[in-house]
């Protein structure tokens, strides 16, 4: 049985969404952030030494990191769903989007979060961080264009990985600046599997 070690308001929500899209049975172990520090509880370190979420266990195997978890689940249980074949013309684009989310787009988002806590001391860095956030979101918005999803008309696991970037932007009230991203977020949030994941995972609001 797949077990998701699920931290509230975190990247693990997209793992629940993936499992719902694949219609796989799974269990959830819930963890709550510290209300003051917003950090994960120390109990997560008993599952994985980094003490972060998401982490899944599957028949004794422990898998961490969102991208790795998504790749693992799609390869083992996807049966050709949610990812193009390795010899498909779409595969390299799919691979780039899988790495774009955490390798590029989330870095300036995280910098904005932490530098924002410095108050006036962080002010000199803010213009560069804001510029980089716009750089990545503008790129994503332009690449989406009029497509429903990143690879075209059909959802892929790359959309599930990138969804956290879009939701992080929404938490910063940025989506109104990017029409394609705003419509993309609405399509994602209307999917039945996404709504089922919210029911299973509990309240989900980044920045809360």
Note the pLDDT of residue 38: 86
Q: What is the mean pLDDT of residues 142-152?
A: 97
Q: State how far the Cα of 101 lies from the Cα of 168, in Å rounded to an integer.
A: 11
Residue 205: which pLDDT band, with cuts at 50, 70 and 90? confident
Say what percent of the chain tops pLDDT 70. Answer: 99
CB-count burial class (<10 Å; 0-12, 13-18, 19+) for 137 = buried
Note the pLDDT of residue 159: 98
CATH number for the region 2-82+193-201 comes to: 3.40.30.10
Residue 208: which pLDDT band, with cuts at 50, 70 and 90? low
pLDDT at 207 over 80: no
CATH number for the region 91-191 comes to: 1.20.1050.10
pLDDT at 135 over 70: yes
pLDDT digits (tens, 9 = 90+) for 54-103: 999 999 999 999 999 999 999 999 999 999 999 999 999 999 999 999 99
pLDDT digits (tens, 9 = 90+) for 4-63: 999 999 999 999 999 999 999 999 999 999 988 888 999 999 999 999 999 999 999 999
Note the pLDDT of residue 206: 86
Q: What is the mean pLDDT of residues 134-150?
A: 97
Q: Which residue's entry shows tokens 């998504």?
A: 70
> Where do the structural domains in the chain lie, given as residue ranges?
2-82+193-201, 91-191
């Amino acid at each position: 049985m797949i077990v998701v070690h699920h931290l509230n308001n975190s990247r693990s929500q997209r793992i629940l969404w993936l499992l719902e899209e694949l219609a796989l049975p799974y269990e959830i172990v819930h963890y709550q952030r510290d209300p003051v520090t917003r950090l994960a509880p120390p109990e997560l370190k008993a599952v994985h030494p980094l003490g972060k979420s998401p982490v899944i266990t599957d028949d004794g195997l422990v898998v961490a990191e969102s991208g790795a978890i998504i790749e693992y689940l799609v390869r083992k249980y996807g049966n050709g769903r949610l990812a193009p074949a390795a010899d498909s013309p779409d595969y390299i684009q799919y691979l780039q989007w899988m790495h774009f989310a955490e390798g590029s787009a989330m870095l300036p988002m995280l910098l904005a979060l932490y530098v924002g806590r410095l108050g006036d001391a962080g002010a000199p860095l803010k213009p560069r961080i804001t510029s980089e956030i716009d750089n990545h979101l503008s790129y994503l918005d332009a690449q989406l264009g009029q497509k429903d999803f990143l690879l075209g008309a059909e959802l892929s696991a790359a959309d599930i990985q990138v969804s956290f970037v879009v939701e992080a932007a929404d938490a910063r009230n940025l989506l109104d600046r990017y029409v394609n991203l705003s419509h993309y977020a609405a399509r994602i949030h209307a999917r039945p599997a996404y709504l089922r994941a919210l029911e299973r995972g509990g309240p989900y609001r980044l920045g809360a």
